[in-house]
Structure 1
Amino acid sequence: MGKTVKKQRPVNLDLQTIRFPVTAIASILHRVTGVITFIAIGILLWLLGLSLSSPEGFVQAAAVMDSFIVKFIVWGILTALAYHIVVGVRHLLMDFGYLEENFVAGSRSANISFVITVVLAVLAGVLVW
């Protein structure tokens, strides 16, 4: 019988000391916004269906959109969609070789993606409100 070797590995369970690189944050947020967008499709389709059902349905949909909470949710949906599209384009540019696949270029393109998303979020806020 073979000997079992007990490996002494460092264990870091303090989540406040873990620092993710900006590329990891961008990737995680891309996945999260994909889930948000998938769920939001149902909300947006319901609102669209209501608005197109009849003139009264349009008035109901317009009344729903008058609420601050609903406007905030729609703004969040549009911001998540914008981020998901921007970072998706970033990934496509990397896949096709238009962006280098190293840490410096990845960090730079992730930061640029964040800036573009902030601009689009402000524009979405102007659109919603």
Structure 2
Amino acid sequence: MADTLKPRPQYRNIHVSQIVAYRLPPAGIVSILHRVSGVLMFLLLPFVVWLFDVSVSSEVSYERFRAAFVVGVGFLPGWFLKLVVLGLIWAYLHHLIAGLRHLWMDATHAVTKEFGQQSAIGTLVLSVLITLVLAYRLFF
């Protein structure tokens, strides 16, 4: 009788070296990116406060603000500032859309594997597409 039983699967934690080879489902990718976008927004909060302060203080400071994105600030070129702002735009959009996805799943109890996969793919596509549209506006 012991010979006819199937061996039970063994579940182990993956090692750090296996992360690259591990294939996450789209919902896992969205979950990790949701955390990354939250941390990115938190870390860049002083930059956002500076952007807001400089843009609304006066007309002169607003012109300095606009010039910073053309010629840069200190040793940072203007394109780098635009790239940082684009990262913030993506972080905000992804965090917002992923958060709305989670709220929808919590409110409707729509927690099926199919819906999770489809909504995760939709979250990724939507956040990247809107970011690309705004990137075009920011750089051109």
Which of 100, 116, 125 is the equivalent residue of 1:115?
125
Distance apart, 1:10 and its partner CA: 5.6
Moved over 3 A (4+): 8-14
Question: Is residue 79–residue 124 contact of structure 1 (8 Å, CA) maintained in 2?
Answer: no
> Is 1:103 matched with 2:98?
no
2:98 pairs with one of 76, 79, 87: 87
Work out the CA distance in 1 between the residues paired with 2:13 and 2:104: 37
Q: Find the residue that maps to 2:66 and give its secondary structure.
A: helix
* Identity value in percent: 29
Deviation at 1:83, TM superposition (A): 0.5
**Alpha-carbon separation, structure 2, partners of 1:40 and 1:82:** 15
Superposition RMSD on alpha carbons, in Å? 2.0
Q: Measure how far apart 1:120 and its partner are.
A: 0.8
| Ranges in structure 2 where 5+ consecutive residues have no aligned partner | 1-9, 71-77
Give 1:43 shift. Answer: 0.7
Unaligned stretches of 5+ in structure 1? 1-7
- TM-score, length basis structure 2: 0.77
Q: Does 1:41 align with 2:52?
A: no
Partner residue in 2 for 1:63: 67
Distance 1:32 1:100 in 2: 24
2:134 corresponds, among 115, 124, 128, to 124
Aligned to 1:78: 89
Counterparts of 1:121 and 1:11 in 2: how far apart (Å)? 35
- Pairs aligned (count): 121
